[in-house]
């Protein structure tokens, strides 16, 4: 039977005019190629399905790129805001500097005769007003001698409420002016050692350089005397240290110019 089939194939091949063995090997190789191709496709599909990490890696890269882009945008936004704030601050500073220069220029203009006259009139009016309130002008300062009596601290507060402070004596002329105006009255002056561990200082924090202590003073009697007063003796050297809680008159001073 097999013999008969082979023979039949060979007869057919002969009928087509090509050797039967050649035709067979051609068909076999075609089948083989087809098989190879399919196997390769299946392998490829397997490899693809068995290796999802490659796909994930790609997606992760995409997400990272997106996040980086987002961060870059945020950074750009922050940089823009910072630059804008810096620009605004600098603009404000420039404006205030311009205002200062304008003010300086305006003050300079005061020296024009008409403006100067107005300026002096203003000062005269101010002094007339302060005179009415009991202030006395001496050199570049105004002085007010209280009619009431109080402790050193409360006296100082009263001066501060008047836009002044307890008097600071910087020259012999000022000392003599006060002696003249106080006569036999005692009065607190702006000198104390209570906050400075025994070192006498004026109320503006400056050191005591020119002193007008009365004989034997300051003696810190009973270790309680930390405030300075005009002693009530009309002498050039009439300061005394006294207990700050004592009540007496006081002298305020404020500068005019
Ligand atoms: C005063 C002292 C002063 C003394 C001088 C007293 O009345 O309170 O401050 O040192 O007199 O004698
Ligand atoms: Ca004393």
pLDDT digits (tens), the chain, 257 positions = 444 444 444 444 444 444 545 555 656 677 677 777 877 776 666 655 556 677 788 888 899 999 999 999 899 999 999 999 898 888 888 888 888 888 877 776 666 788 889 989 999 999 999 999 999 999 999 999 999 999 999 999 999 999 999 999 999 999 999 999 999 999 999 999 998 878 999 999 999 999 999 999 999 999 999 999 999 999 999 999 999 999 999 999 999 97
> What are the residues facing 213 on neighbouring strands?
239
Q: Write the DSSP assignment of 142-183 as a string of letters.
A: EEEE-SS-B-HHHHHHHHHHTT-EE----SHHHHHHHHHHHT
Q: How far apart are CA 156 and CA 212, in angstroms?
A: 21
Q: For residue 185, which of 138, 129, 146 has the smallest C-alpha distance?
A: 146
Atom 4 of ligand 1: nearest residue by CA position:
221
Distance 230 CA to ligand 1 centre (A): 12
Q: How far apart are CA 133 and CA 3, in angstroms?
A: 150
Q: Do 4 and 12 contact (CB within 8 A), yes or no? A: no
Q: How far apart are CA 146 and CA 255, in angstroms?
A: 17
Q: How far apart are CA 7 and CA 13, in angstroms?
A: 10
pLDDT on residue 253: 98
- Give how far Cα 58 sits from Cα of 64, 68, 72, 140, Å: 10, 15, 21, 85
Binding pocket residue ranges, ligand 1, CB within 6 Å: 217, 219, 221, 225, 240-242
Distance 253 CA to ligand 2 centre (A): 23
| Peptide bond preceding 68 in cis form (omega within 30 of 0) | no
pTM for the whole structure:
0.58
| Peptide bond preceding 218 in cis form (omega within 30 of 0) | yes
CATH code for the domain defined by 136-255: 3.10.100.10
Q: How far apart are CA 148 and CA 75, in angstroms?
A: 68
What ranges do the domains of the chain cover?
A: 2-50, 136-255
Distance 119 CA to ligand 1 centre (A): 48
Question: Phi first, then psi: what are they for 140, rounded to 5°?
Answer: -105, 15
pLDDT on residue 69: 93
């Amino acid at each position: 039977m097999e013999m008969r089939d082979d023979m039949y194939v060979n007869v057919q091949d002969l009928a087509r005019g090509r050797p039967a063995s050649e035709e067979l090997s051609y068909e076999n190789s075609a089948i083989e190629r087809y098989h190879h191709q399919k196997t390769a496709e299946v392998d490829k599909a397997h490899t693809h399905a068995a290796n999802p990490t490659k796909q994930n890696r790609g997606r992760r890269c995409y997400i990272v790129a997106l996040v980086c882009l987002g961060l870059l945008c945020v950074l750009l936004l922050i940089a823009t805001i910072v630059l804008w704030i810096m620009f605004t601050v600098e603009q404000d500073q420039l404006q205030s500097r311009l205002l200062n220069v304008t003010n300086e220029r305006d003050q300079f203009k005061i020296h024009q005769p008409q403006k100067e006259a107005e300026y002096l009139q203003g000062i005269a009016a101010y002094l007339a007003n302060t005179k009415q309130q009991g202030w006395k002008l001496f050199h570049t300062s105004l002085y007010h001698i209280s009619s009431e009596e109080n402790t050193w601290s409360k006296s100082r507060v009263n001066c501060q409420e008047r836009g002044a402070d307890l008097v600071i004596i910087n020259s012999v002329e000022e000392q003599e002016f006060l002696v003249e105006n106080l006569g036999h009255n005692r009065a607190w002056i702006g000198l104390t050692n209570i906050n400075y561990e025994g070192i006498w200082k004026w109320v503006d924090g400056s050191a005591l350089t020119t002193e007008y202590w009365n004989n034997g003073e300051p003696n810190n009697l009973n270790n309680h005397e930390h405030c300075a007063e005009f002693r009530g003796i009309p002498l050039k050297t009439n300061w005394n240290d006294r207990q700050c809680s004592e009540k007496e008159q006081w002298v305020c001073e404020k500068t005019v110019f």
